[in-house]
Structure 1
Amino acid sequence: MRRTLAVAALASTVLTTACTSSPPAPAPSTAAPTASRAAGTDYGVWAAGRSTPVTDPLYPEKGNAGLDVLHYGLELDWQPAGKILTGVATLRIRPVTDAPRITLDFTGLTVDKVTVDGKAATGTVEKAKLVVPTPVVADEPVTLTVAYHGTPKQVAIPSNRGDASEGIGMRAEKSGALWTMQEPWGALTWYPANEHPSDEALYDMAVTVPKGWMAAGHGTPGPVEGNTYHYTSTDPVAAYVATLSVDRYRKVEQAGPHGMKLTYFVLPGADDVWLPALRKSPAMITWLEKRLGTYPYPTAGALMNGSISAMETQQMLSMGRKTIPAKEIAYFEQVLVHEYAHQWFGNTVTPKTWTDLWLSEGFAMYFELLYQQEQEKATDAQLESYLREADAELRAEVGPPGKPKAGTFAESNVYICPAAMLKELNDALGDKAFFALATAWARDNRNTNQDRAGFIAFVDKQTGKDFTKLIDTWLDSPRTPA
């Protein structure tokens, strides 16, 4: 996830001054859904996007547990001069339950036309929800198509984070640039979405921009046809790690580990200081692969945008050029490692609900700190001291990471405190066994949603030891465990 400067500065300061019970959920079914009312439509081709949506305990107003979106087809056109986004979103949906209507998250844009299975329908937007009053039947997939236009606007984030004031979702800059940061939600500001991590879907996105502009998005870069840029995701994507950015980019390509293609979208002049760090991505990914196994996707890369944050958007990281001062290039590299680590933890294995955000942020934070420790030649004792000191401060200020509050989304306790827990687990197992555990967690639970119970069961089975008390204590204790 994107990181606040305060969290990273704390880690950098301490390390620098010191020395410089249920089983894991099964994989989504690959069985083809039942025949659709849309004659001739084979929904089986999107079976990899099948999910088991749930209602979120922290934010029940977002998402719809009654719908499973299998695939998003997005045809978008951005006109920088008028700041108008025109879109046609085609959603292949598997209803989980019978319902009198289709309800999705959507706000700020005007709906022009709606069809269900090719037939005209109505759609209204009320209280950040698109409501289409067409009945659906459980396990009888439907195709919803929505045409819309307007100028996207960001929405509020339920957090006190330092980077929360500018909002989340799609943002149109005065320059005509377009970009998004969207956790725990924000996709709803540029296409109709089921805004919950438990509903992951496949994507095909085509974005048309004027000459002189480029569009960068999540997924695998496809052909550029005229001024239309294509991106495809054949691994399921949670809406919060989808992304789109349009700017007067220069595209830089590089070969990564085992021939993997890396792509960076940079703004000439503005991003020159960051490009050398981006070019270190092959070494960063190799460093992670030695500890976590092969990078889980066919391509990687990063786009630079106008945010003050960074984000683990799938296959194409979103890196804000305002995240840190240009002189802090070492920190920028550490954040890159953090976001690349998320491709294993958060993207490949995604939290089932926002209550278990620690499950992705803790791992990404811990591997970032291990990278920083190695780069700065800090000792294990110094890392331990930092983690315990920061952990104690954050538990007192925000609370334990396993019991987050709705109004403090993704604050520093869900980064540092679970990272401290993972260090205790690492110390107990040793590096070889710990890295084998982390590798197996991402590999064996690929493209699934997981929670605390699943993680504990996996750890205990993988290690042959009972770590339930250690994990629960570090997640729930109001004070740093002894």
Structure 2
Amino acid sequence: MTRSAGLAAAAACCLALAACAGQASGGAAVPGGASSAAPTSSPSNTAAAGDLAIARSDTRADSVYPELGNPLVDALHYGLDLTWAPDADRLTARETLTFRATGDAPQIPLDFNEQLAISSATVDGAAAEVSVEGNDLTIAHPLVAEQQYELVLEYAGSPASAPAPSQRADFAQGVGWSTTPEHETWTLQEPYGAFTWYAVNDQPSDKALYDFTLTAPAPMSGVANGVLVSSTTEGGRSVNTWHLAEPAASYLVTVAFGRYQHTDLTSASGVPIQVWADADGDPLPGDTAKTPDAIDWLEKRLGPYPFDSFGVLVVDNDSGMETQTMVTLGDSPYSLSEAVLVHEAAHHWYGDTVTPADWSDVWMNEGMAMYLQGMWEAEQEGTTMVRKTDEWAAFESDLRAESGPPGAFDPTRFGDGNIYYGPALMWQELRERVGERKFFEVLREWPAREANGTADRREYVDWIEQTTGEELSDFFDAWLLDPDTPSRD
């Protein structure tokens, strides 16, 4: 996730929440393996059982936001058929969720907002009663451990955003679904908020495959993650279908309806890139024409881009988010800068293909994306990462004091600068400690090793220790859990 500009001394950065843009607390600015195989299932809103092994997750209850998500559900595939009516700001939807039960239970628990009315629900073809209270959806159908189920919901209503657990200015509009005064829509949902527009297991440990069918009155059209499979206009309606071939956490999903034009680009290695921008504006706003350069720069340091495609979706807000394969960027000079493009694209290695299993480990995403953004900025400025991190160190202790250590942050201050800058300083200290060869081996090998998976701090630190041959538990504990900034060598 990316963040908007802040302290004059600070480098621009982002919360791509794990890459979103906004005003960092304390005045500091924060940003938010080989190419994957061909899609494992045909573009459809239902999925064959044999195609879903890649989406099997080891779910868990989140330690920071336990009220969202339920480890009983392992979502495997979401088929979302969404129709947007801008004249009434109304969403009509048919959702097909294929999931695995991880245990026995008398009912199915999901996250969903009561402002959307469910008109029909079936489980494996049989009608089921539903109950929605607040953001909790329960479906009256028993579950048996390790059995697979297909839930089909039909619902409609006017989605709205939910309150965000953050003090950042760019979170003031909330998380989840947003509708603009022009009746266009966009979604940003880190650390949660997908429940505002579809029934979901809204936690980072559960990754799933997605297919989208997006319908709107022409000339509006729908944009989502993955590859655009088909685009038609008939009877005054546009229909775009999108297929995401690799599993994604719910916070990395994006859907937007608006009047768009799109431009095709390609990276030096052949990654197809699309830029979706306002139909009446610049087709390549800001630095988006440099998107291939950002991918090229990252591939030289991290290895091959880990997905089938990359895209940039420009929307009417002030944030940036590393939504998987189709980053969502606000229409502002900072959000559309090359520095933010580097940050958000970096999240596709750190945050998207390998995702934190628990929100206490969001530092794994933001710290590395911030560090890589700093490396890119240092090259542009003709300076060094030592000098760059010295600048960051001047204010990092204030961020830590205000919002908590990066690995044990204040849950009401999600996305503050503490999860960006402290871990970025930590990576520079590790680089100096283990040397260039081992450090860049760690950078490249981790996302390739954990492609399409999730991990927590213990797993990550254990692997880094094995890879470097160093005992680093105390080092990571100090940087991630101590209330005071560790001394730097």
- Alpha-carbon shift at residue 386 of structure 1 (Å): 1.2
Does structure 1 residue 296 correspond to structure 2 residue 296?
no
Cα shift readout 1:50-94 (whole Å, capped 9, x = no counterpart): 111100111111001111011001111111121111110000010
Where do residues 64-463 of structure 1 align in structure 2 (5 Å cutoff)? 64-107=70-113, 108-226=115-233, 227-271=238-282, 275=285, 277-322=287-332, 326=333, 328=334, 332-463=337-468
* Partner Cα distance (1:429, 1:422) in 2: 10
AA of the residue aligned to 2:356: P
Cα shift readout 1:412-463 (whole Å, capped 9, x = no counterpart): 1001100110111112233332122111000011111111111111111111
**Structure 1 461/7 Cα, relative in aligned 2: closer, same or farther at 3 Å?**
farther
- Alpha-carbon shift at residue 376 of structure 1 (Å): 1.3
Is the partner of 1:51 in helix, strand or coil? coil
* Partner Cα distance (1:9, 1:309) in 2: 21
Contact 2:350 2:364 in 1 (8 A): yes
AA of the residue aligned to 2:147: E
- Alpha-carbon shift at residue 269 of structure 1 (Å): 4.4
* Partner Cα distance (1:104, 1:396) in 2: 36
AA of the residue aligned to 1:300: F
- Alpha-carbon shift at residue 276 of structure 1 (Å): 5.0
**Structure 1 269/244 Cα, relative in aligned 2: closer, same or farther at 3 Å?**
same
- Alpha-carbon shift at residue 2 of structure 1 (Å): 3.6
**Structure 1 408/271 Cα, relative in aligned 2: closer, same or farther at 3 Å?**
farther
AA of the residue aligned to 1:144: L
- Alpha-carbon shift at residue 139 of structure 1 (Å): 0.9
AA of the residue aligned to 1:84: R
* Partner Cα distance (1:382, 1:228) in 2: 51
AA of the residue aligned to 2:191: P
Contact 2:261 2:279 in 1 (8 A): yes
Taking every aligned residue pair, what percent have the same amino acid on both sides? 37
* Partner Cα distance (2:7, 2:51) in 1: 43
Cα shift readout 1:186-214 (whole Å, capped 9, x = no counterpart): 11111100000000001111101111112
| Alignment match, 1:22 | none
Q: Which moved more, 1:255-264 or 1:55-64?
A: 255-264
Is the partner of 1:209 in helix, strand or coil? strand
AA of the residue aligned to 2:442: L
- Please report the RMSD computed on the Cα atoms of aligned residues, expressed in angstroms: 1.9
Contact 2:479 2:485 in 1 (8 A): yes
| Alignment match, 2:21 | none
Unaligned runs of 5+ in 2: 14-45
Contact 1:6 1:162 in 2 (8 A): no
Contact 1:219 1:315 in 2 (8 A): yes
Does structure 1 residue 48 correspond to structure 2 residue 54?
yes
Runs of 4+ in 1 over 4 A off after TM superposition: 269-272
Is the partner of 2:10 in helix, strand or coil? helix
Contact 2:12 2:339 in 1 (8 A): no
* Partner Cα distance (1:129, 1:356) in 2: 25
* Partner Cα distance (2:310, 2:8) in 1: 24
| Alignment match, 1:27 | none
* Partner Cα distance (1:380, 1:333) in 2: 18
Is the partner of 1:92 in helix, strand or coil? strand
1:478 corresponds, among 474, 483, 487, to 483
* Partner Cα distance (1:431, 1:336) in 2: 25
Does structure 1 residue 3 correspond to structure 2 residue 8?
no
Is the partner of 1:446 in helix, strand or coil? coil
**Structure 1 381/419 Cα, relative in aligned 2: closer, same or farther at 3 Å?**
closer
**Structure 1 381/366 Cα, relative in aligned 2: closer, same or farther at 3 Å?**
closer
- Alpha-carbon shift at residue 370 of structure 1 (Å): 0.8
* Partner Cα distance (1:271, 1:393) in 2: 39
Cα shift readout 1:147-175 (whole Å, capped 9, x = no counterpart): 01111100001111121211111111121
Unaligned runs of 5+ in 1: 14-39
Is the partner of 2:274 in helix, strand or coil? strand
Is the partner of 2:391 in helix, strand or coil? helix
Contact 2:4 2:12 in 1 (8 A): no
AA of the residue aligned to 1:315: T
AA of the residue aligned to 1:114: A
Q: Which moved more, 1:402-411 or 1:426-435?
A: 426-435
**Structure 1 70/41 Cα, relative in aligned 2: closer, same or farther at 3 Å?**
closer
Cα shift readout 1:353-394 (whole Å, capped 9, x = no counterpart): 001110111111110111111111123342131121122221
**Structure 1 209/12 Cα, relative in aligned 2: closer, same or farther at 3 Å?**
closer
TM superposition score normalised by structure 2:
0.89
* Partner Cα distance (1:115, 1:12) in 2: 48
Q: Which moved more, 1:178-187 or 1:465-474?
A: 465-474
